[in-house]
Structure 1
Amino acid sequence: KNVSADKWELKRVKKFKIAYDKKIEPVEILRTLLPESRVPVYFLSNHKYFNKEEVYSGGLKKFLFYSLASLEAMKVLRFKPDIIHCHDHQTGLAKNIIASTYKEDKFFQGVKIIFIIHNLNYQGKQNPVILEKVDHDIDKLAPVVNDLKDGDINFMVQGILSADIITTVSPAYAEEILKPELGVGLDNILRKRKKDLYGIINGLDVDLFNPATDRNLKFNYSVEPDGQQESKKTILELIKGKQKNKIWLQKKVGLPVDGSKALAGFVSRIVWQKGADLITEEIVKKSDCQFVVLGAGEEQYHRHFKNLAEKHPEKFSAQIKFSIEMASQIYAASDIFLMPSRYEPCGLGQMIAMRYGSVPIVRATGGLKDTVFNLSGVKCQMSNVGGANGFVFKKFKSKELEIVLKRALDIYYNKPKKWQKLQLNGMKTDFSWDKSAKEYVKLYKKLVKN
């Protein structure tokens, strides 16, 4: 509903009907082009299931309808794909629908399925009655029969079992989910598919996340190095740009204005996964820096951060809300970016932060481990910075975060050249989709070849 037909110049191209939940549902296909390209993008419209503004409202009955409608739309458009790339548990039954509803249809013969796991914790467990919505003996398929033995249907399990290739959003996460600690009860199933499991880090839209052009910033600044060596002009522009944004943000969120004071940012869904509880009052009191938190999520963590802000207004600001605009402002203003996650399949925050010259402190898990390279040793010389672009701690303990934050602040205040090197290393790291896209193309070619 919240996709503007006028803004994206959507054109109605086809109409069709499908049987779903013992009713005949109308579906309309709309078409536009990917901006600045000739790549067509299709949207599906249905008043009953796609009439909400929130993407995830409506539950899995909506996404099961979406899977069925998407497959039928391919037939209506006469577009037979080589590969269907399914994302997360919401599309986990796509292959099952092909094997049941379209089992006598030659259209989908030879079509391969890639299933990508974005977050294994969200599995889509449902009462088996939901299968009656698509009918056509889907409950008689072997993977479904086995799944039903525990009294529910798990959409994530079905995606894993039925796909030709499984991917997830970082190499480290692909390894972690094979073990009980982060396998969320599915590690045994995933180990059986290990040879078909790949980890490819998500890319970043480097045009969208660019402090030189970001319209959400009060002061834009460039992070592009001049040639191979960073010029003094580049470093000076970075320092001035971030300091001006910091002072502006300090005023906006009510922190004492001090451009020389280190500012640590935290932008995230405020939930159990993200390690909000590691940012304790003890850390706030002991650390020689200010903190600004932005996000929304679980009420217990809202209370935790609000309490810190009330007790330490001179050091802590809690912005409990969702704001794309303020997120950009924190990336630009912060010197340090905190991501102490319990687990993190990929994570974009650390990559965006580095793009804006903020040095990340992360826990060694998932995509954080794949993208942030630790500066180890307090006494390391300038030459030892090497390819480091941040700080990493391993154990999920507040004391570990406290220690590494203290080390980061020591370098920030006492070794500015080393700090600038960390910033520039992060900004030079290629987080664009170029590399990741090539990895996906390799998988696509492998599937088509086979």
Structure 2
Amino acid sequence: MSTTPTVWRSHSGAAAGRVPLPAATGLHRVVIVGGGFGGLEAARGLSGAPVSICLVDQRNHHIFQPLLYQVATASLATSEIAWPIRAILRNRPEITTLLATVVGIDAEAHEVKLDGGQTVPYDTLVLATGARHAYFGHDDWEPVAPGLKTIEDATTVRRRILLAFERAEREADPARRRALLTFVVVGAGPTGVELAGTIAELARDTLPRDFRNIDTQEARVLLIEAGPRVLAGYPDDLSDYARRSLEALGVEVELGRAVSACSDEGVVYGERTLPAKTIIWAAGVMASPAAEWLGAPADRAGRLLVEPDLTVPGHPDIFAVGDTAMVAGPDGKPVPGIAPAAKQGGRYVAAVIKARLGGAKAPPPFRYRHQGSLAQIGKHRAVIDFGWIKLRGALAWWIWGIAHIYFLISVRTRLAVAISWLWIHARNQRAARLITQGGDEDRDQARR
């Protein structure tokens, strides 16, 4: 833990390029970068504290990322898993929300640098900037194999999946039709497993009666994983159940084969070349450039190496939470990059800041409490690992659904998601099958 003493600095006077913020005389200024689970939880935890908060995010909405794949597979609409940050924080007058992109941090001047040359001063900084896709040195694959981290990613993937069926409907060449009806998911973690299972159900149960020239049930869905099993973070028996469940849905699970090439024409994995027009990347993540902004130590995934109180070494006034930080769990392994971990980190940081401002004893070092791992495979198929008990099958599926509905932000969205899922369960129909055209690149893809 850093031994550098904590000094609460006060910066006064206007400076050129600074964002005009409401006057907060005498209040400690907290800047939170990122409106995800960790950032919002830190803001919530600081309620009632003598602070002025500025929350900065490059998007105006908070996303419930665990259900992002359901937007990508036409099960839910974007409005059912995303909420305007300003609306979430409207009853917190001490919080100013800025739609901006952070491009750097001047730790010496205690300023966050924004796009456009503006800056925001801080006394305490909380970095909750999340993660981005990692292509392991092959960033040129991203245009043909999009990942799934944002609403824009989800609508891009949904567009490509639905366009593939539309293009196959009018394709006369059998080889090209087969390529159009081949869907490849790279990476067999929870996101990859959930994507592959839902795409298979979409093709098998939802779409068959909608098309005349093609049989959507003939679509191939491949899940490719370089490791020896799916859901590597789960116990062996749950991993094996997940693999068998995927295969029962018609998913072809390819294990122990790394992807070595991605292009408009398909993928190369192991020694095989597979023509495929839709490739989705779920194989890895890289932290945001927060470590680069500070010139601070980071792990191979770019996550800041933090002290036990989640501060950045040498910067006791800067905290990092969620996917931004590499934190060791009780077993010595890195804390997983999941929503509960980010929320626990956000709550902990808020408690530390409150203790410092109130002159109270600092909380003990951060300790992540794992509440369980959940993954849905398909209708009536899910796995849950609570540590003390493991569940699979229909019961796990119902618990998975109830848990996700519970953690949604508003009553309206809970009802909307519950109704959407009940409709899918009863009728095998997904109401969000909308193809919304993007930029020129997407239109080019639609014509290929």
Q: Normalising by the residue count of structure 2, what TM-score does the alignment of the two structures yield?
A: 0.27
Greater radius of gyration (CA): 1
Bigger helix fraction = 1
Bigger strand fraction = 2
Q: Normalising by the residue count of structure 1, what TM-score does the alignment of the two structures yield?
A: 0.27
Higher relative contact order (CA 8 A, sep 6+): 2
